[in-house]
Amino acid sequence: MSPKRIMTIYGTRPEAIKVAPIIKALEESDSFESLPVVTGQHKEMLAQVNNLFGIEPVRDLEVMTANQTLNGIVAKVVQGVDGILEEFKPDAVIVQGDTSTVMGAAVAAFNREIPVIHLEAGLRSGDINSPFPEEANRKLTTQITKLHLAPTAESKGNLLRENVAEEDIVVTGNSVIDALFTTVEKQVAFSDPKLESFLSTDQPVVLVTTHRRENLGEKMVSISRAIRHLALEHPEYRFVFPMHKNPKVRSAVLPQLEDLENVLTIEPLDYGEFTRLIGASRFVLTDSGGVQEEAPSLGKPVLVLRENTERPEAVTAGTVRLIGTDFDRIVEEATALIDDEEHFASMANAVNPYGDGQAAERTAAALKEFFGVGSRLTDFRP
């Protein structure tokens, strides 16, 4: 039997990180021909990840233009992917997560009657508007997916409650853990000498990231004010803030932080550098979804700057706390990690519920079963 042609379509850096182990597993299997396609939703960041993992996309749709609307992105993705599907005629399409690329590519594949495989299926926040538009994107994608690759048992439970057939769900663990373990071993050097110098002391480091659309404006100013207060109250700590390129993020962050000696605001980091920074940090404040999964895998407590999360497993486990964007709450929760060693240890030593580094292997096996050439492996359990 000739290898099945599997097209993996991705557009942002988080997607690239999570599909990279899957693409490498497909490349190593005689059962599949791997066809990576990028939409270019995060063009420069995509190239960084592809280079790190040695992935060469067969096509780049380059969908992004300045000041583009969400509808404009989706329209370009659907149209661009449709042409790629006609050209390559894959046997299945893999999409990952919840971006505009995911929803648009899934619709394009469905309309050509090509099976959709959804990696990281079943995440739910319970609020259609938060995160926006991701919660809607993943729910829409679920409706047209043939094989649901859920990262955790809780994600599987969400799908079952939405009447997805159990035989169509495989719990793989999250492939971000596969990517993280591989990348941490590389110990990538920092390209910014200021960052290398900033981390050269024995002072503990707090990593801060924030970029979510729902946190723009006053909420992001509140976050930045809280970081300023913490930095002034705890000069023995150093705070590193890789800033998103969105001007609305920078206009909220820089006025609060750029004059402080123990705060370093820097450009976004390559994935390899970012994983090294997580490893060098004592704890993390973030509104990112992926960082909620990555940091606990390295024993780093995470304070999540959001009102809800589609990743509740780590909250239940105790390695993540959901604290929102209120100034007083941020200061209180971060101060507890700084001052209370027992509290810090309880979060740092909690069980990571997201993966064991074998998600790509389980995914490849699930695809073999889907095409009738093998059997799935035992579902991931923490």
pLDDT tens sequence across 260-303: 999 999 999 999 999 999 999 999 999 988 899 899 989 999 99
- pLDDT of residue 2 exceeding 70, the answer is yes
CA distance 359 to 286: 24
Q: Which amino acid is at 38?
A: V
- Domain layout of the chain by residue ranges: 4-174+355-370, 193-348
Res. 42 pLDDT band, cuts 50 70 90: low
- pLDDT of residue 43 exceeding 80, the answer is no
The CATH architecture that domain 193-348 belongs to is 3-Layer(aba) Sandwich (3.40)
Amino acid 351: pLDDT:
78
Least confident range of 37-46, 219-228, 308-317, 369-378: 37-46
Positions annotated as catalytic residues are: 98, 120, 134, 211, 213, 244
CA distance 32 to 356: 24
3-state SS assignment for residue 263: strand
pLDDT mean over 317-327:
95
Res. 240 pLDDT band, cuts 50 70 90: very high
User: Residue 301 — φ and ψ, nearest 5°?
Assistant: -60, 145
Amino acid 364: pLDDT:
98
What percentage of the chain exceeds 70 in pLDDT? Answer: 99
Considering only CA atoms, which of 49, 1, 47 is closest in space to residue 24?
Answer: 49
Amino acid 98: pLDDT:
96
- pLDDT of residue 156 exceeding 70, the answer is yes
State the fold for domain 4-174+355-370: Rossmann fold (3.40.50)
Give the mean pLDDT of the chain.
94
Amino acid 149: pLDDT:
98
* H or E stretch covering 116: strand 116-119
Amino acid 282: pLDDT:
97
| pLDDT tens column, 334-363 | 999 999 999 999 999 877 788 999 999 999
Please state the pTM of the whole predicted model: 0.85
Res. 106 pLDDT band, cuts 50 70 90: very high
3-state SS assignment for residue 24: helix
Tell me how crowded residue 121 is: count the other CB atoms within 10 A of its CB: 29
Query: Is there a shared CATH topology between the 4-174+355-370 domain and the 193-348 domain?
Result: yes
CA of 77: how far to CAs of 34, 58, 84, 116, in Å? 20, 16, 10, 15
Amino acid 375: pLDDT:
97
Residues in CB range of 260: below 8 A, 6 or more apart: 228, 231, 232, 239
- pLDDT of residue 194 exceeding 80, the answer is yes
Residues in CB range of 122: below 8 A, 6 or more apart: 142, 148, 150, 151, 152, 154, 155, 156, 157, 158, 159, 169
Amino acid 130: pLDDT:
87
| pLDDT tens column, 49-79 | 999 999 999 999 988 787 889 999 999 999 9
Q: How far apart are the first and last CA of the chain?
A: 36
Number of residues assigned to the chain: 382
Q: Among the residues of 112-211, which ranges form H helices?
A: 134-143, 153-161, 175-184, 193-198
